[in-house]
Amino acid sequence: MELYQLSPIQQNVLIASIMGDGEITKIYKNSRRKNNSYREHYGQAQEKYREWKQLFLPDLLYFNKKCHSLCSRSLPLFSQLYPHFYNSKNQKQVPENLLPTCTLPHFLAVLYMDDGTLSITKRINHTKKRIYLTPSIMLALQCFPVHELNLLQQHIHNTFNYAFKLCSTPSGHGYMLRFTSVQHTFSFLNFISPVTNTCPSMFYKTNWEWRYNKEKQLLLKQYPNYEIIASSSDCYKPYSPEEINRMITLHKNGEKISDIARVINRTYWSVVYKVRELKEKNLL
């Protein structure tokens, strides 16, 4: 199959895109086309994200900006892929036989940025003047029936060790995937961060520190004397003096942010913001 002529990253990005916002176009009766093509509509607000995605497949996908579409020519590749992604009724399905190919964080990152949501639950304690923010992640893949979601759920668990739960929804086939653990939410965002940190236009979904600061600013306008507290995993607890000293030493030794994050068991973006804060205090 021509899919395997693409690099592993390209394969993961393309498969996730077809499962997510993209589609393989149908060939209608009496059409002159011999092969299927790819098409992905988007709104103006998502154009930067589509430009980011197209960089992975520059020889395959191009823009039709008049139609707000990322698309391809009619190619044998998409004719070969069509029966993997669509059943006999031309309904989208999870490509079971291609899932073993989807082992890179790029697969989860694109699937999440296409169809995921970083949802934040707010709990206000007016007595203590505190507002608690609890993040959770949803994959709104309700276009797939429950048995298809079970395939994807099991693949993600077996391959990436993330346990999404089935959750009911009033749209589509009635189900989507969701994390019920805050710790898993932070772990997931950290896992895909080497991919997503190159796409600033999607930080509202992928960068918890960025999103938390935005939510905090909005809430403080409405509740100026309240304390905003984020429910968090251990990775998001306050930095200890030992961690700060270790960060300073590693940074002065020229270590990369990603390496510092791994050594002190923090997320990439948590370290980015902490380094910025230390520089502002002239500690770095």
Q: What is the pLDDT of residue 232?
A: 61
Q: What is the pLDDT of residue 283?
A: 85
Q: What is the pLDDT of residue 200?
A: 95
Q: What is the pLDDT of residue 270?
A: 77
Confidence grade of residue 272 (pLDDT, cut at 50, 70, 90): confident
| Residues with Cβ within 8 Å of residue 240, at least 6 apart in sequence | none
Mean pLDDT confidence for 147-153: 96
Share of the chain above pLDDT 90, in %: 71
Nearest CA to 133 out of 211, 190, 235 is that of 211
Instruction: Extract the tokens encoding 226.
Output: 């309240």
pLDDT at 129 over 70: yes
| Residues with Cβ within 8 Å of residue 41, at least 6 apart in sequence | 21, 67, 68, 69
pLDDT at 234 over 60: no
> What length is written for the chain?
284
Mean pLDDT confidence for 134-142: 92
Q: Between the CA of residue 158 and those of 6, 51, 116, 155, 162, what are the distances in Å?
A: 24, 31, 20, 5, 8
Share of the chain above pLDDT 70, in %: 98
CA–CA separation, 171 vs 99, rounded Å?
A: 25
Contact 142, 177 (CB under 8 A): no
Residue type, 153: Q
Instruction: Extract the tokens encoding 206.
Output: 């992928």
More confident residue, 267 or 223: 223
Q: What is the pLDDT of residue 204?
A: 96
**Roughly how many angstroms between the first and final C-alpha of the chain, as a whole number?**
52
3-state secondary structure of 149: helix
Mean pLDDT confidence for 246-262: 90
pLDDT at 279 over 50: yes
CA–CA separation, 38 vs 40, rounded Å?
A: 7
pLDDT at 84 over 90: yes
pLDDT at 235 over 90: no
pLDDT in tens, 171-228: 888 899 998 788 889 889 989 999 999 999 999 999 998 999 999 999 999 999 999 9
Angle between helices 146-160 and 105-115 (to 10 degrees): 140
Average pLDDT, the chain: 91
pLDDT at 233 over 50: no
Nearest CA to 82 out of 93, 71, 67 is that of 93
